[in-house]
Amino acid sequence: MNESRLQIWISSARPRTLPAAFAPVLVGAALAWHDGVFRAAAALLCLGFALLVQIGTNFANDYYDFMRGADTAARVGPRRAVAAGLIAPATMKRAMWGVFAAAFIVGLGLVAWGGPWLVAVGVASILCGIAYTGGPFPLAYHGLGDVFVVIFFGFVAVGGTYFVQAGQLTANALLAGLPVGLLAANILVVNNYRDVETDAKANKRTLVVRLGRTAARAQFIGSLLIAFALPLVFLSRGFRAWCLLPLLLAPLGWIHAVRLRESKTPSELIALLGATGKLLALYALLFGVGLVL
């Protein structure tokens, strides 16, 4: 059955990656609730901004990876609309700018809570979303994609969500951003692990291309270990034992590490990609509930 245009655009938004936008806002808002400074309107604006930046970044990746030759008919991962000829490059580029413009407008609503300096943070987030695969120094092509994800989907997103509600940035807000950023980066690890051969041919020097699959598995496991250790840090900082709820997911994290090591086909890694996104969402949900309780 032929896909509708709407289905093609929804697929291009890459729903499996959207937990990376949802999770940090949930954790930042939950921490604000714990501290008695929760503001629903501000949290919703943060969520809207984060989702739009994520979708805009995905559109940018679709466009720039095609233009740079990283996405071709030989691609083994999920279909990309521009490379598959379903959306014209110019149309995808216009959509990218349209979504980023919408993100900027939504972000302006946060100035009322966080002050005008948030404009600079919003613009930097959008520019980095473009620079992930576009511009003169594309981050993903130089092995910096993982760093970008940890910083912007961890520290900036969680810390920013907390800041616009509390009016200040605390050590706890930054600590809460670390596991979220690392688990979001694991989504990227699985994606790049699958695409290592085609990325190498396109001179896309991801960390997996630079260091190999063994190092990628070590990074994946290390991120899981740190993420599951962070609730213990919060317990030591005076939070109640409810903050340990994410540890219930530790066996699932181990299963994911085993699946990464044993996966032999692109389809297995595509399935793991979705599962890694779900783990991030569940972690954020349980951590958020623990902070609220």
With a CB cutoff of 8 Å and minimum separation 6, the contacts of 60 are 96, 129, 130, 132, 133, 134
Specify whether the CB–CB gap between 195 and 77 falls below 8 A: yes
Q: Global pTM?
A: 0.92
Q: Are 16 and 45 in contact (CB under 8 A)?
A: no
The per-residue pLDDT string of the chain (293 residues; one tens digit each, 9 = 90 and over) reads 467 888 999 999 988 888 889 999 999 999 999 999 999 999 999 999 999 999 999 999 999 988 887 666 666 667 788 988 899 999 999 999 999 999 999 999 999 888 888 899 899 999 999 998 888 888 889 889 899 999 999 999 999 999 999 999 999 999 999 999 999 999 999 999 998 888 888 888 999 999 999 999 999 999 999 999 999 999 999 999 999 999 999 999 999 999 999 998 889 999 999 999 999 999 999 999 999 98
Torsion of CA 78, 81, 85, 88, to 10 degrees: -160
For the chain, which domains are there? Answer: 20-292 (1.10.600)
